[in-house]
Amino acid sequence: MNSNTYQNTKELIATAGLKATHPRIAVLHELLTNEEHPTAEQVHTALQPNNPSVSLGSVYRILEKLVEVGLARPVASRNGLKRYDARTDSHSHIYAVNTEEIQDYYDEELNDLIKGYFDKKKISNFKITEVKLQINGEKADPDKKVTIV
Amino acid sequence: MNSNTYQNTKELIATAGLKATHPRIAVLHELLTNEEHPTAEQVHTALQPNNPSVSLGSVYRILEKLVEVGLARPVASRNGLKRYDARTDSHSHIYAVNTEEIQDYYDEELNDLIKGYFDKKKISNFKITEVKLQINGEKADPDKKVTIV
DNA sequence: ATTCTAAATAGGAATAATTCTTATTTACTG
DNA sequence: CAGTAAATAAGAATTATTCCTATTTAGAAT
Ligand SMILES: [Mn+2]
Ligand SMILES: [Mn+2]
Ligand SMILES: [Zn+2]
Ligand SMILES: [Zn+2]
């Protein structure tokens, strides 16, 4: 789908106008690879094996910078932890309350449905940038995957 | 709309099977009154004038307890702060990125639309408890209210 | 109304999460 | 291959939240 090599990630960063440092490449690469909408801490942990020199403080700082330049987005979460997403297109999230997993969800039909609705309804003094769904529920078997059928 | 006296709040707590202590009544009353989906700290600050004896630690503990018994709900937020809501019915949120304000949104038509959609779509290994919208955007004039027209 | 008691609280200590500071390193520029 | 501004590592500091425990309190039982 998305060719996600080191080189490719490096270019994404450079194209965004940032110095393509090794810590930045490592963090963005991890975020692009990791589907779990991780916290800074989780990204840092994931980097340990191959990039043990990247500090936790840098991961925090880099994630914020990636958001700033549009290469990542903050994910709304209800437990007081900051989580991040490398998907920057508008999409929805399936949130499993029991496992705290957040999974992407996108469907064109749903998108059109909501878009159609908000073309009619008007909210004054507010400029909508995005409408997304938060699908809350419980993962039946926590060990198995959630799949859209 | 919702008669929200001290006495009424007290009954809500008692009916939920909790000891109706003064700190609990004060916290829930504030949460019912405050439309801003406040943090524990904000609730505590709001209580200062009339209930200075309620400690911050208690506010944290009480809010979690209210969630536990279904008198309050956690609100998804993207800045790493826990925010709470006394509205326990399923409703959506308008989130102003610039002011970090969260405002309720509910519309029957929208509700039906989404319900209809998810009656068809099936997600396996997942039990949906609720689908809500996160309407993100910017408040044009931060000093004025956002209104649904 | 008074006593009893389990549960809840205040206050402060402890921990977890995040940001800040600064000396050193590094990626780009020429 | 310098030179330089920007970024980083490491650890200190701050902020957010939870935990601990002596004291208080709401409600139940006299
Ligand atoms: Mn936190
Ligand atoms: Mn936090
Ligand atoms: Zn996502
Ligand atoms: Zn709400």
Residue B77 beta carbon within 7 A of nucleic strand D? no
- Comparing every residue's Cα with the C1' atom of nucleotide D11, the nearest one is A57
pLDDT at A1 over 80: no
Tokens of B29: 């009353």
A105 plus A78 within the same structural domain: no
Q: Does the residue A97 lie in any domain?
A: yes
Last residue of a domain, one of B49, B64, B85: B85
**pLDDT of res. A3:** 76
Give the pTM. 0.93
Domain-embedded: residue A148: no
Please check the confidence at residue A146 and state whether its pLDDT lies above 60: yes
Give pLDDT, residue A149.
83
Q: Which residue type does A99 have?
A: T
Q: Exposure pattern of B6-28 as b/e (b: 16+ CB <10 Å)?
A: eeebbebbeebebeeeebbbbbb
Kindly state whether residues A74 and A102 are assigned to the same domain.
Answer: no
User: Which structure tokens are listed for B27?
Assistant: 């916290």
Note whether residue A73 is domain-resident: yes
Tell me whether residue B145 is in a domain.
Answer: no
Question: Residue A134: closest CA among chain B residues belongs to which residue?
Answer: B132
Shared domain check, A113 and A66: no
Measured between beta carbons, the chain A residues lying within 8 angstroms of B123 are: 94, 135, 146-149
Asked whether residue A34 carries a pLDDT value surpassing 90, the answer given is yes
* A122-135 mean pLDDT: 94
A130 located within any domain = yes
Expressed in angstroms and rounded, the spacing between residue A113 Cα and the centre of ligand 2 is 35
In a domain, A143, yes or no: no
- CA B28 to C1' D3 (Å) is 62
- A28 and A64 housed in the same domain: yes
Q: Looking at the partner chain, which of A74, A123, A136 has a beta carbon nearest the beta carbon of B148? A: A123
CATH number at residue B96: 3.30.1490
How many CB atoms are closer than 10 A to CB B117?
Answer: 16
Print the domain residue range for A101: 92-137
Residue A9 reports pLDDT greater than 60: yes
Residues B105 and B123 in one domain: yes
CA B111, CA B114: separation in Å to the nearest integer?
5
A8 and A77 in a single domain? The answer is yes
Strand partners, B130: A136
Q: Do A47 and A97 share a domain, yes or no?
A: no
- What percent of chain B lies above the pLDDT cut of 70? 99
pLDDT of residue A114: 93
Distance B147 CA to C15 C1' (A): 42
Among the candidates A66, A85, A104, a domain finishes at: A85
Q: Any idea what the CATH number is for the domain that residue B58 is in? A: 1.10.10.10
Degrees to nearest 5, angle at CA B113 with B107 and B114: 95
Region A126-140 average pLDDT: 95
Residue B71 shares a structural domain with residue B130: no
Q: Which residue has the tokens 């297109």?
A: A89
The verdict on residue A121 lying in a domain is yes
- Alpha-carbon A115 to chain mean position: 22
Residue type, B74: P
Number of structural domains (chain B) is 2
Residues B80 and B104 in one domain: no
Residue A98 burial by Cβ neighbours in a 10 Å radius (0-12, 13-18, 19+): exposed
What parts of chain B have a pLDDT lower than 50? none
Per the listing, tokens 């094996």 go with A49
Place of tokens 């505590």: B44
Determine the pLDDT at residue A2: 62
Mean pLDDT of chain A: 95
CB B84 within 8 A of CB B37: yes
Q: Are residues A9 and A61 in the same domain?
A: yes
